[in-house]
Amino acid sequence: MFRYFGYGSNMSLTALRAKGVEPLASRRAELYGWRLRFNVQHFFRHEGGVGNIERSEVPGDRVLGVLHECPDDALSPLDAMEALGHGYDRITVDVETDGGRVSALTYVGMPEFIDDRCLPSRRYLNIVVDGARQAGLDTGYLGDLMAQAVHRTDPYPPFVPPSGDHPVFDTAALAQFPAYTSLYGAVFDMSDARPLHEYLKGFFGGRDMTLFHLKRLDTSDGTESMDDILHGRLSEAQRDYLNGYLNEYAREYRYVGRIDYR
C-alpha cells in the first residue's frame, strides 16, 4: 500500500477511479509551506492549466487535499495518468491528517511544462471543487477555489473531416498503427505532433480515446461505455466536449481516416 496526496482533480473519487485507481481509504489532509497553482500546461491548449503545488515562504500557506491509501498495483496507472516524467515529477511530502503527520506521494509540475499564464478550464475546476466538497474541505478554501478565474475559449465549429477518400479502420486495425489514434469516429496520425506531445504518442497511440475523454468530463459519473458511443447515447454536453477535442486533434495531428466501432 502507498499513500497519495491528491490536491487537484484527484480529490474527486470519480476522477481518480476514471484513471484506474480505487483507493482503499480516503481522508482530508493539509500540506503546509506550499501553495496551489494551476500552471501546468495541459497537452491541449483549450484545457488551459491543471493543478500544481509550489513551495511557499508565506507563513500559513497551505494546500488542502485528500490523502488516499492505495494498493501497490495502483501506482503504475497513477504514474501513467499523471504523465510522470512528461509533465509531472513524483515527490514525497509530509501532510497533516486527523491522525497526525504522515508521508505521502504527490506530483509536482516539471519546469518545462509550467506556464504561469495558465488558468484552469471550467471543466477541470468543476472537478476540483466537487472533489473538495466531497472531502469536506473547509469553506474558506472551497470559496477560494470557486472564485478562481478560469480559462475561456471560443466555441468550436462542428468538426468536418477533410474531403477525399480515406481508409476505414476498426479497433483491431487501429492497434496496428502505434502512431495513429482515434476519437469519436475520426482517426489521426500523431507522427508529426509537437514535442510536448511525445508522451501522448505512447499513451494514445493505437487506441481510441473517446471513452477516455468522456470519463474526464465534469459531468461524468464513471458509467459511460463504448456501447453508449456506438448507439449515440450521448448528451449535447458530451457531444460538444468531443467536438472540441476533435478540433484540437485536427490542430495537433493529421486526419487519416475514420473508424468503425462495430
Interatomic CA distance for residues 11 and 66, integer angstroms:
6
Interatomic CA distance for residues 5 and 215, integer angstroms:
22
Interatomic CA distance for residues 111 and 88, integer angstroms:
9
- Which DSSP string do the residues of 135-173 spell out, in sequence order? HT--HHHHHHHHT---B--PPPPPP-PPSS---EE-HHH
Look at residue 196 in the predicted model and tell me its pLDDT.
Answer: 87
Look at residue 70 in the predicted model and tell me its pLDDT.
Answer: 97
Task: Give the contacts of 145 (CB within 8 A, at least 6 positions apart).
Answer: 125, 128, 129, 132
Asked if 242 contacts 214 with a C-beta cutoff of 8 angstroms, the reply is: yes
Look at residue 261 in the predicted model and tell me its pLDDT.
Answer: 85
Torsion of CA 212, 216, 220, 224, to 10 degrees: 0
Instruction: Check: pTM over 0.85? Answer yes or no.
Output: yes
Could you tell me the end-to-end alpha-carbon distance of the chain, in angstroms, rounded to an integer? 40
Look at residue 92 in the predicted model and tell me its pLDDT.
Answer: 98
* pLDDT values of the chain reduced to their tens digit, one per residue, 262 residues: 999 999 999 999 999 998 889 999 999 999 999 999 999 999 999 999 999 999 999 999 999 999 999 999 999 999 999 999 989 999 999 999 999 999 999 999 999 999 999 999 999 999 999 999 999 999 999 999 999 999 998 999 999 999 989 999 999 999 999 999 999 999 999 999 998 899 999 999 999 999 999 999 999 998 999 999 989 899 999 999 999 999 999 999 999 999 998 7
Cα–Cα distances (Å) from 108 to 54, 83, 88, in that order, read 8, 11, 5
